[in-house]
Amino acid sequence: MIQCPNCKKQVSDDPFCEQCGSQQKCLECGKRFVHIENFCGECGTERKLNNSASTSKNVIGTGNRKFLVGVGVLILAIFFMLNPPGSLSGEPTSPAEIVEEFYNLIQSANVAEAGKYLHSSIPWNVEDAEIPEGASITVLSLEEKIHGDYATVEAVLELYPEPYYYDGPEVVFVDLEKEGGKWLITDME
């Protein structure tokens, strides 16, 4: 065993000291460094030498930083998988969320804003849309089924006043299509 000229620890025949990380052999010609030379006396290649104990801590810390960066990237990836783009802004992203937001906007008489969730194939005239005073729509439940870029949401609604033709909650099937990365309502039955 040979002594590292930098930290004075016993080193094996490896090109770097396991304790401080100082270069023990020239990486170009393989000549062993005996003293704290900055350049190889054989071929002139610059030596990588750690000059202080704090440097050896940095060598060890580099692995820890890489590990922490890797963990951070993994956490961010999981976060964005669970929170797709748009969900962080409060915008609805799933078909059921779109349908719920649509009915909530109708309930609050914000007809113009509700129109942004409708596909361009659905005629939507804000001036003709009128919500009767005292009328309400309450979403009781939503169940979505997604098939690629198409989805159907079964919405169970409580309407007030109740329609004359039906007593109890109203079941509406809402069809949606994904266009430009957004779900849009294409039909309601």
| In contact, 60 and 69? CB cutoff 8 Å | no
Domains of the chain (ranges, CATH numbers): 2-82 (no CATH), 95-188 (3.10.450.100)
Distance, in Å, from the CA atom of 139 to the CA atom of 5, rounded to the nearest integer, reads 77
pLDDT at residue 86, as a whole number: 54
Mean pLDDT of 153-173: 82
Is residue 5 over pLDDT 60? yes
Comparing 82-86, 159-163, 179-183, the range with the smallest average pLDDT is 82-86
What's the pLDDT score for residue 97? 94
**More confident call, 64 vs 45:** 45
Q: So what's the pLDDT on residue 51?
A: 54
Mean pLDDT, to the nearest integer, of 153-158? 92
Q: Report the predicted TM-score, pTM, of the whole model to 2 decimal places.
A: 0.52
Mean pLDDT of 101-121: 87
Please give the Cα distance from 166 to 136 (Å, whole number).
16
Residue 23 has pLDDT above 90, yes or no: no
- Please write the tens of the pLDDT for every residue from 58-104: 444 556 677 777 777 788 777 766 665 555 556 788 999 999 999 88
Distance from C-alpha of 125 to C-alpha of 109, rounded to nearest angstrom: 14
Binning pLDDT at 50, 70 and 90, where does residue 50 land?
A: low
CA max distance for the chain: 100
Q: What is the mean pLDDT of the chain?
A: 79
Prior bond of 5 cis (ω within 30°) = no
Query: At residue 9, what are phi and psi to the nearest 5 degrees?
Result: -85, 155
- How far is residue 28's CA from residue 4's CA, in Å, rounded to a whole number? 19
Cα–Cα distance between 109 and 87 in angstroms, integer?
24
Q: What is the DSSP string of 26-55?
A: -TTT-PBP-S--SB-TTT-PBP----SHHH
More confidently predicted of 27 and 2? 27
The sign one gets for the Cα dihedral 74, 78, 84, 89 is negative
Between 183 and 123, name the one with better pLDDT: 183
Radius of gyration of the chain (CA): 34
Q: Which two tokens stand for residue 123?
A: 């005629």
